[in-house]
A and B are shown apart, each in its own frame.
Chain A
Amino acid sequence: MSLLSIENLKTHFFTKAGVVKSVDGVSFDLDRGEILGIVGESGSGKSVTGFSIMGLVDPPGRLVEGSIRFDGQDLVGMAEPVMRDLRGRRIAMIFQDPMMTLNPVLRVDTQMIEALRAHGRWSDDAARQRCRDVLGQVGIPSPEERLKSYPHQFSGGMRQRVAIAIALLHEPDLIIADEPTTALDVTIQAQILFEIQKLVAENNTAMIWVTHDLAVVAGLADRVAVMYAGRIVEMGTTEEVVNRPFHPYTSGLIGSAPSRNPRGARLTQIRGMAPLPMNLPTGCAFRPRCDRATEACIIEPDATTPESEHLVRCYHPLSGASDWGTTA
């Protein structure tokens, strides 16, 4: 049985201006030790998916449908104290902006030790020892000194390492990493990627790695899910998705991947703009930007698996997969 199994998850925001269907029918499974990359443009619902799993969706947002089974229990509708016990201990999350994830007015040791003590008794000595060990693991030199520092005394990369260390404190079963390296420069990004990959492999931790950049995920994830406008439009092994994308949007993403372009150069864009979540086009949400769109696309395509383990939501998928839309 998979560690995490999400079925038809819908998380909507009921704002004054209207309902934002940030996540609208997402399903995927994740096994222990597996790394799933979630890729998509800004606003496609990647973070909201992560927060939904953490049970940290705040009003006006709400999980309106679906189930999130984690190690046999459904997290949807779970009592808050039970959920809180899982948070940080069995499911941890790392955020995008390392400059913002640590509290600026609290010392690093305060912020680490409280994370330990949220889930059990720790003596001062044992807690500090554990913090030092984990800081060492994520490559922070002289951890003892660093514990007594405030976040602003660290560089961005170091702060993100601290955040990763906090996520690792309880050796969770699942880590949700929400674009943790996007804000960092390329060399540091590469280092952190390498280290985190090693650490999860050692602990057999499952991981969801959210990113804009398909190339980052290519070297890291076992499987990739491509999100567009709140839905997964393509999912398969990394190898499959990167080398033989089915969905026109995925193939566009590959063309516009930052890592394939000279640094600093403007990326080749996918034509048009990401749709406004408030008024999505009817049918396939990618339709206005899609070169292959036909009349069939006015009706929302279902998820299909032209090849086993390679899912796509498109009537006219690319690269050799049979174009079943025209005959449908």
Chain B
Amino acid sequence: MTVFIIRRLLQSVIVVAVMTLLVFAGVYAIGNPVEILISQDATEVERAAAIARLGLDKSLPEQYLAFLGNLLKGDLGTSFVFGEPALQLVLERFPATMELALSAMLIAVFIGVPLGLYAGLRPDSIGGRTIMTGSIFGFSLPNFWQGLMLIMFFAVILQWLPAGGRGVRGEFLGIESSFFSWDGISHLILPAINLALFKTSLVIRLTRASVRETINLDYVKFARAKGLRPRRVIGLHVLKNIMIPLVTIIGLEFGSVIAFAVVTETVFAWPGMGKLIIDSIFQLDRPVIVAYLIVIVCLFITVNLVVDILYAILDPRVRLSDQKA
């Protein structure tokens, strides 16, 4: 297992290295980095200073090394719009987006898996049918419209929850987060639900399909033939097997949740990376776009790594075939 993790870590490092090369090629080698990284409003003096600072007067390999060096120092240029370091800008918004994405995924898993399990075990019951019909709605409603409806209903009509913004964050063990204050949580609920609805439907359907498939397999029948209680047959024999496809999908979807967050963050004025990137694209704030790309790629790599490790924990066949390889 340790060997497995170390190998996956090394692979991740290689991917990051390749990624920096690609970003470098995209920004420095193909385009004119002066135009990409330095605002057009800059004066000649500012330009010259920036060119020298970014090392744009040197050869390409030297520039790449300099780029790597700057990257390690966290310097990806300065936002044209905010005048702050681009990476810092993105990272400031990072926790807000992660809060949103995490809450949405937690909702999707903790609601989707039990409902899917129920629908899979009792496909012909009224409850099972209702769940499946409900999941179709989750799939078909447009995200922004659904967000507006949530705001209308819970914020405007019922006035239970705030309509947008992030609220006051609480602090716990030195970590500042919306999770640790009621105001923060109340601001988080609607956007998280909005982001979660689609994923919940997906998890419900995937869980149900996996349960229906697994439940008829010989090893489940054999487990019952041993005289095991249904709770153990379902809770261990069935669940542990359906976790394998579930973890894969949830990992993949985590990435797409962050991408989808753009719409939700816009509708709910949630100050996350999604909103920042949309604003930056409109304003051609290129250093921020580059920083965003790098952060997202690193995030995807991390998620993939975690999924791979979970996968190996869940499925002994993966672990062993990897050791042999």
Residues of A at the B interface (CB closer than 8 Å) are: 51, 54, 56, 58, 84-89, 92-93, 95-97, 100-107, 111, 114-115, 118-119, 150, 152-153, 163, 166
Contacts and interface: CB of A to CB of B under 8 A. Distances in A.
The contact size tier of chain B is 20 to 34
Nearest to A102: B219
A27 B103 CA distance: 59
A114 B232 contact: yes
B241 interface: yes
Contacts of B225: 54, 56, 87-88, 92-93
Contact of A150 (B218, B219, B316): B316
Interface string B187-219: 000000000000000000000000000001111
B321 to A, nearest CB: 9
Contacts of B219: 100-104
A317 B314 CA distance: 58
| For the complex of A and B, 5 pairs with smallest distance between CB atoms | A88-B227, A100-B218, A87-B227, A88-B226, A115-B226
A95 B227 contact: no
Given A56-B224, A87-B226, A105 B316 contact: yes
B243 to A, nearest CB: 8
Nearest to B218: A100
A86 B227 contact: yes
Contact of B237 (A87, A93, A103, A152): A103
Interface of B: 216-219, 221-229, 232, 236-237, 240-241, 244, 314-317, 320
Contacts of A101: 218-219, 222
A100 B320 CA distance: 19
Contact of A104 (B224, B226, B232, B241): B241
A113 to B, nearest CB: 11
5 contacts: A101-B222, A102-B219, A103-B240, A103-B241, A106-B236
A226 B218 CA distance: 25
B263 to A, nearest CB: 37
A208 B226 CA distance: 17
A100 B214 CA distance: 11
B320 A153 contact: yes
A96 B63 CA distance: 66
A56 B223 CA distance: 11
